[in-house]
Protein backbone atom coordinates (compact mmCIF):
# COMPACT_ATOMS: atom_id res chain seq x y z
CA UNK A 1 0.00 0.00 0.00
CA UNK A 2 1.02 3.57 -0.63
CA UNK A 3 2.01 4.82 2.83
CA UNK A 4 0.24 8.16 2.30
CA UNK A 5 -3.08 6.28 2.14
CA UNK A 6 -2.45 4.95 5.65
CA UNK A 7 -1.93 8.34 7.27
CA UNK A 8 -4.76 9.39 9.59
CA UNK A 9 -7.52 9.87 9.02
CA UNK A 10 -7.66 6.70 6.92
CA UNK A 11 -10.62 6.60 4.54
CA UNK A 12 -11.61 3.09 3.49
CA UNK A 13 -13.17 4.18 0.19
CA UNK A 14 -9.98 6.00 -0.76
CA UNK A 15 -7.81 3.10 0.43
CA UNK A 16 -9.97 0.52 -1.30
CA UNK A 17 -10.32 2.18 -4.70
CA UNK A 18 -6.93 3.90 -5.07
CA UNK A 19 -4.50 2.22 -7.54
CA UNK A 20 -1.78 2.46 -4.88
CA UNK A 21 -4.10 0.90 -2.32
CA UNK A 22 -6.31 -2.15 -2.38
CA UNK A 23 -7.72 -1.75 -5.92
CA UNK A 24 -5.17 -4.00 -7.68
CA UNK A 25 -6.28 -6.90 -5.46
CA UNK A 26 -9.99 -6.50 -6.23
CA UNK A 27 -10.99 -8.97 -8.94
CA UNK A 28 -14.32 -7.21 -9.46
CA UNK A 29 -13.08 -3.62 -9.18
CA UNK A 30 -15.50 -2.28 -11.82
CA UNK A 31 -18.46 -3.79 -9.96
CA UNK A 32 -17.26 -2.44 -6.60
CA UNK A 33 -16.69 1.03 -8.09
CA UNK A 34 -20.07 0.80 -9.82
CA UNK A 35 -21.72 0.22 -6.47
CA UNK A 36 -19.72 2.58 -4.24
CA UNK A 37 -19.15 5.65 -6.44
CA UNK A 38 -22.86 6.25 -7.23
CA UNK A 39 -23.65 5.65 -3.54
CA UNK A 40 -21.09 8.30 -2.57
CA UNK A 41 -22.51 10.67 -5.22
CA UNK A 42 -25.99 10.23 -3.68
CA UNK A 43 -24.57 11.05 -0.24
CA UNK A 44 -22.91 14.19 -1.62
CA UNK A 45 -26.16 15.28 -3.31
CA UNK A 46 -28.18 14.61 -0.16
CA UNK A 47 -25.84 16.26 2.35
CA UNK A 48 -23.82 18.83 0.41
CA UNK A 49 -20.89 17.87 2.67
CA UNK A 50 -17.68 19.44 1.27
CA UNK A 51 -15.48 16.62 2.63
CA UNK A 52 -17.61 13.98 0.91
CA UNK A 53 -17.59 16.08 -2.25
CA UNK A 54 -13.76 16.22 -2.19
CA UNK A 55 -13.65 12.45 -1.58
CA UNK A 56 -15.95 11.84 -4.55
CA UNK A 57 -13.82 14.06 -6.78
CA UNK A 58 -10.67 12.22 -5.72
CA UNK A 59 -12.16 8.74 -6.13
CA UNK A 60 -13.42 9.63 -9.61
CA UNK A 61 -9.84 10.46 -10.64
CA UNK A 62 -8.47 7.02 -9.71
CA UNK A 63 -9.17 5.39 -13.02
CA UNK A 64 -11.86 4.17 -15.29
CA UNK A 65 -15.46 5.13 -14.97
CA UNK A 66 -17.51 3.13 -12.53
CA UNK A 67 -18.62 -0.23 -13.87
CA UNK A 68 -22.21 -1.46 -14.08
CA UNK A 69 -24.29 0.17 -11.39
CA UNK A 70 -26.04 -2.09 -8.92
CA UNK A 71 -29.70 -2.76 -9.71
CA UNK A 72 -30.95 -0.09 -7.34
CA UNK A 73 -29.69 2.15 -4.55
CA UNK A 74 -31.64 -0.05 -2.15
CA UNK A 75 -29.57 -3.17 -2.90
CA UNK A 76 -28.45 -4.59 0.41
CA UNK A 77 -25.25 -6.47 -0.43
CA UNK A 78 -22.12 -6.00 -2.51
CA UNK A 79 -20.05 -8.99 -3.67
CA UNK A 80 -16.30 -8.49 -3.26
CA UNK A 81 -13.69 -10.80 -4.79
CA UNK A 82 -10.18 -10.32 -3.39
CA UNK A 83 -6.89 -11.80 -4.60
CA UNK A 84 -4.87 -12.91 -1.58
CA UNK A 85 -1.59 -14.77 -2.11
CA UNK A 86 -2.75 -16.49 -5.27
CA UNK A 87 -6.17 -17.35 -3.88
CA UNK A 88 -9.48 -15.66 -4.53
CA UNK A 89 -11.48 -14.87 -1.42
CA UNK A 90 -15.15 -14.02 -1.89
CA UNK A 91 -17.11 -11.83 0.49
CA UNK A 92 -20.31 -9.89 0.55
CA UNK A 93 -20.59 -6.55 2.25
CA UNK A 94 -23.69 -4.97 3.66
CA UNK A 95 -24.15 -1.50 5.12
CA UNK A 96 -26.65 -0.75 7.84
CA UNK A 97 -27.67 2.84 8.44
CA UNK A 98 -29.64 4.22 11.32
CA UNK A 99 -32.11 7.06 11.35
CA UNK A 100 -35.14 8.51 13.00
CA UNK A 101 -37.19 11.54 12.11
CA UNK A 102 -36.36 13.19 15.43
CA UNK A 103 -32.61 12.46 15.61
CA UNK A 104 -30.46 13.89 12.80
CA UNK A 105 -27.27 12.50 14.40
CA UNK A 106 -28.43 8.92 13.81
CA UNK A 107 -28.46 9.61 10.07
CA UNK A 108 -24.66 9.82 10.11
CA UNK A 109 -24.13 6.37 11.63
CA UNK A 110 -23.43 3.48 9.25
CA UNK A 111 -22.05 0.03 10.03
CA UNK A 112 -20.40 -1.92 7.23
CA UNK A 113 -19.91 -5.66 7.70
CA UNK A 114 -18.12 -8.24 5.54
CA UNK A 115 -19.06 -11.90 5.47
CA UNK A 116 -17.57 -14.89 3.63
CA UNK A 117 -19.62 -15.59 0.50
CA UNK A 118 -18.54 -19.20 0.05
CA UNK A 119 -17.30 -22.16 2.04
CA UNK A 120 -13.73 -21.90 0.70
CA UNK A 121 -13.41 -18.32 1.99
CA UNK A 122 -15.02 -19.21 5.33
CA UNK A 123 -12.65 -22.17 5.73
CA UNK A 124 -9.66 -19.98 4.86
CA UNK A 125 -10.70 -17.43 7.51
CA UNK A 126 -11.30 -20.12 10.13
CA UNK A 127 -7.82 -21.48 9.50
CA UNK A 128 -6.29 -18.01 9.77
CA UNK A 129 -5.46 -15.80 6.81
CA UNK A 130 -1.75 -15.95 6.10
Is the model more confident about 129 or about 41? Answer: 41
Long-range pairs, 102-105, Cβ under 8 A, ≥24? none
- Average confidence score pLDDT of the chain: 84
> Is pLDDT of 106 > 90?
no
The C-alpha angle 67, 74, 44, rounded to 5 degrees, equals 70
For the segment 5-54, what is each residue's pLDDT rounded down to a tens digit? 999 989 989 999 999 999 999 999 998 998 889 888 988 998 899 999 99
The per-residue pLDDT for 74 is 53
Between CA 18 and CA 15 the distance in angstroms is 6
The percent of residues in the chain predicted with pLDDT above 70, rounded, is 82
> Is pLDDT of 77 > 90?
no
Where are the chain's structural domains?
1-69, 76-130
User: Helix (H, G, I), strand (E, B), or coil: what is residue 41?
Assistant: helix
Count other C-beta atoms under 10 Å from residue 58's C-beta. Answer: 14
Please report, for the chain, how many H helices and E strands are present, in that order.
Answer: 4, 3
Amino acid sequence: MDGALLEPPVNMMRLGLHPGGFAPRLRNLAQVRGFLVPRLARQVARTGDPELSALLEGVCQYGEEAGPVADAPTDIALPIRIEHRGRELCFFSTITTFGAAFDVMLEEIAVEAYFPADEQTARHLRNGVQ
